[in-house]
C-alpha cells in the first residue's frame, strides 16, 4: 500500500495546529484545523478554527452591542461556554500566552468594555463556543494512528475568519503529499 500521508514529524505543543486526516470518522472533526492552546502531561485543549455557526455575539453575551462577527464552534467540550483568543496581550489582564503575539482568555469584562468603546478591533479577537479537549496521552495516541497532522502557522492565519477553505489551504503547505491529500474528495466512494 502506498502511504500518501504528509510527513508528521512535528511534535504537538502550545501554538501548534492540528489538521484532521481527510477521512476522519468523527463528523465533528471532519477536515478541521485545531489550534492547540495547551499540550502537556495533564492533557490537551484547543479550538477548531474552521467550524462557524450562524449566531451573533449579542445573542450570547448580555449587554453586548450588535456586531456582525463570525463565531466558531471550538469543540464539543463545554459547548455552552464562550471562549476567546486574541492578539491584545497585556491589554487584557490574566491572558495566557499561546504563541508569540497570540493569547487565550483573560478578563472578559475588560475585553467587552474595550470592544464596546471601540478601543480594540474585532479583528484582534476570535470567539468560540466550546473547545476541543484530550485526556492525558489521548492526543499522542491519535497521532500514532495518523488521525492528525501537526504543523505551525502564523497568527495572521489563525485570526483570519475569511478563509473558508482553511483546512485545504494549510494542508497544501505540507509538501507534495499534502497537496495530494488536500484534493482528496470528501467521500472517496463518490470519486
Q: Give the pLDDT confidence of 42-55 residue by residue, as tens digits.
A: 999 999 999 999 88
**Helical residues (DSSP H) of the chain, grouped into ranges:** 108-116, 138-144, 155-159, 166-171, 175-182
d(CA 34, CA 46): 6
For residue 151, what pLDDT is reported? 95
Taking domain 17-82+128-190, whether its CATH number is 3.40.1740.10 is answered by: yes
For residue 174, what pLDDT is reported? 81
pLDDT digits (tens, 9 = 90+) for 52-85: 998 888 888 877 777 777 899 999 999 889 999 9
How does the average pLDDT of the chain come out, rounded?
88
Global pTM reads 0.90
pLDDT digits (tens, 9 = 90+) for 1-45: 445 556 666 889 999 999 998 888 888 899 999 999 999 999 999
Q: Provide mean pLDDT across the span 123-152.
A: 94
3-state secondary structure of 104: strand
d(CA 164, CA 162): 6
Per the document, the length of the chain is 191
Amino acid at each position: 500500500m502506498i502511504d500518501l500521508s504528509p510527513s508528521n514529524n512535528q511534535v504537538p505543543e502550545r501554538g501548534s495546529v492540528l489538521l484532521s486526516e481527510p477521512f476522519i470518522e468523527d463528523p465533528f472533526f471532519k477536515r478541521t484545523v485545531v489550534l492547540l492552546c495547551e499540550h502537556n502531561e495533564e492533557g490537551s485543549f484547543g479550538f477548531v478554527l474552521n467550524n462557524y455557526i450562524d449566531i451573533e455575539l449579542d445573542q450570547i453575551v448580555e449587554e453586548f452591542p450588535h456586531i456582525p462577527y463570525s463565531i466558531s464552534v471550538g469543540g464539543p467540550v463545554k459547548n455552552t461556554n464562550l471562549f476567546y483568543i486574541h492578539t491584545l496581550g497585556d491589554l487584557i489582564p490574566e491572558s495566557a500566552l499561546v504563541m508569540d503575539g497570540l493569547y487565550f482568555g483573560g478578563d472578559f469584562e475588560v475585553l467587552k468594555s474595550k470592544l464596546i468603546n471601540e478601543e480594540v478591533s474585532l479583528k484582534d479577537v476570535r470567539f468560540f463556543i466550546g473547545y476541543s479537549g484530550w485526556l492525558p496521552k489521548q492526543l499522542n495516541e491519535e497521532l500514532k494512528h495518523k488521525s492528525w497532522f501537526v504543523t505551525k502557522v502564523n497568527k495572521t492565519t489563525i485570526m483570519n475568519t475569511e478563509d473558508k477553505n482553511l483546512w485545504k489551504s494549510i494542508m497544501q503547505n505540507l509538501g507534495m503529499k499534502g497537496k495530494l491529500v488536500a484534493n482528496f474528495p470528501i467521500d472517496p466512494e463518490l470519486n
